[in-house]
Amino acid sequence: MIQKNMLYVHCPICGREVCKSGEGTNTEQNCPKCKSVLSYAVENDTVRVHVVKASDKKKVS
Ligand SMILES: [Zn+2]
């Protein structure tokens, strides 16, 4: 068995690391920092993050 790499999922709103996730994942989760609702999928070693509901907190940059 080949151990699949776990990929980091980052919130596109605030940049916070939300979790690590493996191939085939398709999950919806709240960002622990800005509370945006994110959905993400891992396919072919690529993380695709979609913002379901953006937080009303603005990104501090
Ligand atoms: Zn966030």
Task: Give the residue extent of every domain in the chain.
Answer: 7-53
- Note down pLDDT in tens along the chain; length 61 residues: 566 789 999 999 999 999 999 999 999 999 999 999 999 999 999 999 999 999 886 655 5
pLDDT score for 20 = 94
pLDDT score for 21 = 94
Q: What is the CATH number of domain 7-53?
A: 2.20.28
Smallest CA-to-CA distance from 59 within 15, 1, 5, 3 is with 15
pLDDT score for 56 = 80
Q: How remote is the CA of residue 48 from the centroid of ligand 1, in Å? A: 15
Q: How remote is the CA of residue 4 from the centroid of ligand 1, in Å? A: 26
Please check whether residue 47 is in contact with residue 21, taking contact to mean a CB–CB distance below 8 angstroms. Answer: yes
pLDDT score for 1 = 59
Q: How remote is the CA of residue 1 from the centroid of ligand 1, in Å? A: 34
